[in-house]
């Protein structure tokens, strides 16, 4: 699969060149353009219950679209709803956990399943479910703002709203940003995720809630 990510990191667009019969699976509604005679198939993905929890709790679409190129090959452009970055990852049999709304597309063989994370996964408005993405092949993730990879070796603390994804070799606990609840509630930072272990963590440089809060202040009462 040949691909190019242009207009990074603010208004990223994923351009793919598919060979004859080659396919790409994407979040429903991500298609910007495609060449003629491209086949389109819509499926729920990993079963009805997983699709339902992905929609209700994970913030993702109920369906995936799979685009397949005709005998002459084809082109397709994909982009997320929010302005921001796109990155590509090679899983090679590994699995990662992804925050709500950051899955964009992948090879058809990649599995996307909702996983219950308990109260610890209450990332800023994210809910009780994360997406576990696993398999062998390419996966494309999106964000609001630029995506920054961080190599965690030991312990690392991140504002919960800035998390995009992390390898399953990392563990995390949600805690207070300050030394007490007063600092947490009034200091503007809210809750943080304290990661431990060894692996890669991907964060986004902006959060949608921050933009919404700024925009709300400008609206007439």
The predicted-structure confidence for 60-96, as pLDDT tens digits, reads as follows 456 899 999 999 999 999 999 999 999 999 999 999 9
Model pLDDT, residue 116 = 63
β-sheet bridge partners, residue 92: none
What is the C-alpha to C-alpha distance for residues 129 and 68, in angstroms, rounded to an integer? 30
What is the C-alpha to C-alpha distance for residues 129 and 119, in angstroms, rounded to an integer? 9
- Alpha helices (runs of H) in 127-196, residue ranges in sequence order: 181-186
Q: Considering the chain, what percentage of its residues have pLDDT values greater than 90?
A: 61
Q: Average pLDDT over the chain, rounded to whole?
A: 85
Print the domain residue range for 140. 2-218
CATH code: domain of residue 24:
3.60.160.10
Model pLDDT, residue 47 = 47
Kind and range of the H or E run holding 212: helix 208-218
Higher pLDDT, 44 or 181: 44
Answer whether residue 124 shows pLDDT above 60: no
Average pLDDT over residues 124-129: 50
Label residue 9 by pLDDT band (50, 70, 90). Answer: very high
Answer whether residue 58 shows pLDDT above 60: no
Model pLDDT, residue 211 = 86
Predicted TM-score of the model (pTM): 0.86
Number of separate domains in the chain: 1
Higher pLDDT, 160 or 195: 195
What is the C-alpha to C-alpha distance for residues 90 and 114, in angstroms, rounded to an integer? 20
Average pLDDT over residues 101-115: 91
Model pLDDT, residue 200 = 97
Q: What is the DSSP letter of 189?
A: -
pLDDT tens digits, one per residue of 176-219: 776 655 555 555 556 788 999 999 999 999 988 888 888 899 99
Q: Which of 15-29, 41-55, 74-88, 183-197 has the lowest mean pLDDT?
A: 41-55
């Amino acid at each position: 699969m040949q691909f190019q990510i242009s207009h990074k990191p603010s208004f990223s667009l994923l351009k793919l060149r598919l060979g004859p019969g080659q396919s790409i699976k994407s979040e429903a509604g991500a298609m910007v353009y495609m060449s003629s005679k491209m086949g389109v198939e819509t499926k729920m993905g990993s079963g009805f219950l997983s699709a339902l929890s992905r929609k209700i709790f994970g913030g993702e679409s109920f369906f995936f679209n799979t685009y397949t190129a005709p005998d002459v090959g084809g082109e397709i452009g994909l982009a997320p709803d929010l302005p921001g970055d796109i990155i590509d990852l090679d899983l090679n049999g590994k699995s990662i956990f992804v925050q709500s709304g950051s899955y964009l597309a992948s090879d058809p063989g990649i599995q996307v399943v909702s996983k219950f994370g308990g109260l610890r996964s209450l990332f800023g408005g994210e809910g009780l479910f994360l997406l576990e993405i696993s398999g062998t092949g390419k996966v494309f993730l999106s964000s609001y703002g630029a995506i920054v990879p961080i190599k965690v070796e030991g312990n690392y603390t991140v504002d919960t709203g800035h998390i995009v994804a992390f390898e399953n070799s990392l563990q995390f606990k949600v805690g207070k940003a300050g030394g007490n609840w007063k600092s947490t509630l009034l200091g503007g930072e809210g809750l943080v995720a304290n990661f431990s272990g060894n692996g890669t963590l991907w964060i986004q440089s902006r959060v949608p809630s921050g933009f919404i809060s700024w925009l709300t202040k400008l609206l007439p009462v």
